[in-house]
Amino acid sequence: MRKIVLITGATSGFGKACAYLFAQHGYDLIINGRRTERLQELADEVEKKYNVAVLQCPFDVRNEKEVFDAIDAIPEKWKAIDVLINNAGLAAGRDYFDEGNLDDWNAMIDTNVKGFMYVAKAVSQLMAKRKQGHIINLGSVAGKQVYEKGNVYCASKFAVDALSQGMRIDLLRHHIKVTAINPGAAETEFSLVRFKGDEATAKSIYNGLQALSADDVAAVIYYCTTLPAHVCINDLTLSCTQQADAIYFNRQPSA
Ligand code: NDP
Ligand code: 8X3
């Protein structure tokens, strides 16, 4: 029996890089995202390249009914999910709190907190029945430390941090591992989404940095799944070498 990983937000960035890496290591994939054409492309490519099975599971994590219906409708043999990569998320805007946009706030809380919880609950119920499983939650350095104009995005990732701790405690009785992965700046579509398609501003975030790539983060996530059954990385923060925490960067090139 091949192992099964369910990845939310597999149409871009970390999720997509995880899809390739887990497929390369022989996992069958359940892939989620809203952009169905990207899911189809990814499924075609991964099936051909790695000879694994791929189940497309498009839904919007913000929609409670869609999430629970879609996970309930997964064919029985696919419900033996070994790993959940609870990754779908976004930042929307970067504004002073008093100037914040309410639509942006709602998008972040609905996706990063409520959507994140819906997916984790639906999948943890499946794992609980089998008394095994590994949930990997995408937090952030922004969930450890608040930076200027980070306010609501940081709050959503602090919530992920708290929920990872809570899930780890409550799922202990089912032998489910819970790992929180907290990356620093990584060059994906994240900033393009945050700055609403403004490519110049999005690019400027990474000025002078060799930022993390999606592949760097996927490699660390995959590593966490390779440890023996009795070993769990609970909480892991990673950044590029030029970043110390959520605030301090060295944008000078090294000698
Ligand atoms: P990307 O923008 O490249 O990817 C985000 C993914 O999330 C896409 O596949 C998108 O798919 C999916 N997504 C967003 N909203 C929804 C939704 N409502 N329903 C389903 N899927 C959704 O960003 P990253 O890969 O960088 O980010 C992944 C996670 O990592 C996020 O939680 C982010 O907060 C976190 N993170 C990112 C960092 C970075 O610097 N890049 C650093 C630390 C954490 P689609 O649009 O097709 O639905
Ligand atoms: C993404 C990293 O520093 O842009 O979570 O908030 S940061």
187-to-14, 192, 203, 236 alpha-carbon distances in Å? 10, 10, 9, 19
Both structure tokens of 243: 């970043």
pLDDT tens digits, residue range 90-142?
Answer: 999 999 999 999 999 999 999 999 999 999 999 999 999 999 999 999 999 99
Ligand 2 atom nearest the C-alpha of 184 is 2
175-to-1, 160, 217 alpha-carbon distances in Å? 20, 20, 25
Kindly identify the ligand whose nearest atom is closest to the C-alpha of 193: 1
Residue labelled with tokens 């033996």 = 80
Active-site residue identified among 20, 27, 50, 153: 153
What SS3 state is found at 84?
A: strand
**64 inside domain:** yes
Q: Quick one: pLDDT at residue 254?
A: 87
- 206 in catalytic set: no
**249 inside domain:** no
Query: Domain residues for 55?
Result: 4-238
Say how many domains are in the chain: 1
Q: What region does 33 belong to: left with phi over 0, alpha with psi -120 to 50, or beta?
A: left
**83 inside domain:** yes
**252 inside domain:** no
pLDDT tens digits, residue range 44-57?
Answer: 999 999 999 999 99
Q: Quick one: pLDDT at residue 253?
A: 86
Cα-to-centroid distance, 150 and ligand 2 (Å): 8
252-to-107, 157, 169, 203 alpha-carbon distances in Å? 35, 28, 42, 17
Q: Are strands 235-238 and 177-183 parallel, antiparallel or unpaired?
A: parallel
Q: Quick one: pLDDT at residue 1?
A: 81
**60 inside domain:** yes
Q: Is the CB of 175 under 6 A from ligand 1?
A: no
Q: Would you list the DSSP string of 167-224?
A: HHHHTGGGT-EEEEEEE--B-SSHHHHHTTT-HHHHHHTTTT--PBPHHHHHHHHHHH
CATH code, domain with 29: 3.40.50.720
**184 inside domain:** yes
Cα-to-centroid distance, 87 and ligand 1 (Å): 6
| Measured distance CA(247)–CA(147) in Å, rounded | 6
Q: Quick one: pLDDT at residue 83?
A: 99
CB 171 within 8 A of CB 164: no
Stretches where the chain sits below pLDDT 70 are none
| Measured distance CA(80)–CA(160) in Å, rounded | 24
Q: Quick one: pLDDT at residue 248?
A: 98
| Measured distance CA(194)–CA(152) in Å, rounded | 12
Taking CA atoms only, the protein residue closest to ligand 1 atom 48 is 34
